């Protein structure tokens, strides 16, 4: 049985990754290291921690703490790493960037150093297409390829780009078996409701409006989280050390088109359901991913189509109201009011 350290495994994508591997019976023991920041939620994996204690272990701790990370290898026997832990919300990085530098840059460096000293066998660093910056809207043929130079535009994407540079350097300098993935916008179950899709869906369920930035014409590629998790698993198993793999949903849409779909699916309309708000500063206009390399070299491609996966996603939030209603109070409300005040 392989023992894998999963950082940030109580967050959105990390929890989906853990659930996928445990539920389908992969021959793995997963050790989740998570600080449980506002975005971490043990409720995302609690049922599996209780039912599969020999295959899933949780440790509350900070990736910036070298002793804690070292114990993952010495005490829990981890030999491979999948690194999800991060401060992940662009809007929060605009309010304050220092936690982003601390976790995303310093935390990644600590993790790399410990993994190097313990001769970790595989290390997948989960990054983002946002490191590439923004694409022109009038040239749909241009997409982000792995060779596209990094040009991050937000404190969040700058911190992820810095962590990518460290990962690259540890391959070139120390020949560490590291791989990097850069994916587009994820959606699906267990996503913290400050992010666009769960925010839109749960606001409508609460009789509130969808806050739509600027003219709503920003374009993103949308990737169903289950497809993303399968891609990461593929890279962990078959990826080549030192390589970057772009992961996309093959599904470019404007924010207006996304909102339109959600309104329709939830029986609402533009007048009742949408409020235009002042645009995010430095808002990237278009992201689009060329995911040809991972298809050609590792045989992965997305299996979910947006129009069916969004229905499943909406249904999940309808069926799990306790989960998101518990989050959308207290600290979250304070953040929401700061974020959208006067917009």
- Taking the C-alpha atoms of residue 259 and residue 200, their distance in angstroms, rounded to an integer, is 8
Please report the DSSP string for 168-215 in residue order. HHHHHHH---EEEEEE-EEESTT--TTSHHHHHHHHHHTTPPEEEETT
Binder of ligand NAD out of 14, 152, 248, 273 (CB under 6 A): 14
> Any contact of residue 84 with ligand NAD (CB under 6 A)?
yes
- Active-site residue, 129 included: yes
The two beta strands, 219-224 and 252-254, are: antiparallel
Contacts of 86 by beta carbon, 8 Å cutoff, 6+ apart? 8, 103, 104, 107, 126, 160, 163
Binder of ligand NAD out of 22, 62, 180, 199 (CB under 6 A): 62
Binder of ligand NAD out of 31, 40, 259, 284 (CB under 6 A): 40
Binder of ligand NAD out of 5, 6, 12, 289 (CB under 6 A): 12
**Rule CB under 6 A: which of 101-130 touch ligand NAD?**
103, 107, 126, 128
CB of 268 to ligand NAD, least distance (A): 24
- Active-site residue, 23 included: no
**Rule CB under 6 A: which of 138-157 touch ligand NAD?**
none
Tell me which residue of 73, 143, 162, 85 sits closest to 115, measured CA to CA. 73
Assign 86 to helix, strand or coil: coil
Active-site residue identified among 34, 129, 194, 252: 129
> Any contact of residue 220 with ligand NAD (CB under 6 A)?
no
- Active-site residue, 156 included: yes
Sign of CA dihedral 187, 192, 198, 199: negative
Residues forming contacts to ligand NAD in the complex (CB under 6 A) are 7-8, 10-14, 33-37, 39-40, 62-64, 84-88, 103, 107, 126, 128, 160, 183, 185-186, 192
- As annotated, the active-site residues are 129-130, 156
């Amino acid at each position: 049985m392989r023992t894998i350290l999963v950082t940030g495994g109580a967050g959105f994508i990390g929890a989906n990754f853990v659930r996928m591997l445990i539920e389908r019976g992969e021959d793995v023991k997963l050790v989740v290291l998570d600080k449980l920041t506002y975005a971490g939620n043990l409720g995302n994996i609690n049922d599996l921690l209780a039912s599969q204690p020999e295959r899933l272990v949780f440790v509350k701790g900070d990736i910036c703490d070298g002793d804690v990370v070292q114990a993952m290898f010495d005490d829990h026997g981890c030999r491979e790493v999948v690194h999800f832990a991060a401060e992940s919300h662009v809007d929060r990085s605009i309010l304050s960037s220092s936690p982003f530098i601390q976790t995303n840059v310093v935390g990644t460096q600590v993790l790399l150093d410990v993994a190097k000293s313990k001769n970790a066998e595989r290390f997948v660093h989960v990054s983002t297409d946002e490191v590439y910056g923004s694409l022109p809207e009038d040239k749909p043929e241009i997409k982000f390829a792995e060779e596209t130079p990094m040009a991050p535009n937000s404190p969040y994407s700058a911190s992820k780009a810095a962590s990518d540079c460290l990962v690259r350097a540890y391959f070139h300098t120390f020949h560490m078996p590291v791989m990097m993935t850069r994916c587009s916008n994820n959606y699906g179950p267990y996503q913290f409701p400050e992010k666009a899709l769960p925010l839109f869906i749960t606001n409508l369920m609460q009789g509130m409006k969808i806050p739509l930035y600027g003219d709503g014409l920003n374009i993103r590629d949308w990737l169903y989280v289950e497809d993303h998790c399968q891609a990461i698993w593929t890279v962990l198993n078959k990826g080549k050390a030192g390589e970057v793999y772009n992961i996309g949903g093959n599904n470019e849409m404007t924010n207006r088109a996304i909102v339109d779909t959600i309104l329709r699916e939830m029986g609402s309309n533009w007048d009742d359901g949408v409020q235009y708000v002042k645009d995010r500063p430095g808002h990237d206009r278009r992201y689009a991913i060329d995911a040809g390399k991972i298809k050609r070299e590792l045989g992965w491609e997305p299996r979910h189509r947006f129009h069916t996966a969004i229905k499943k996603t909406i249904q999940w939030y309808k069926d799990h109201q306790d989960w998101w209603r518990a989050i959308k109070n207290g600290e979250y409300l304070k953040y929401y009011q700061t974020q959208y005040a006067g917009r």
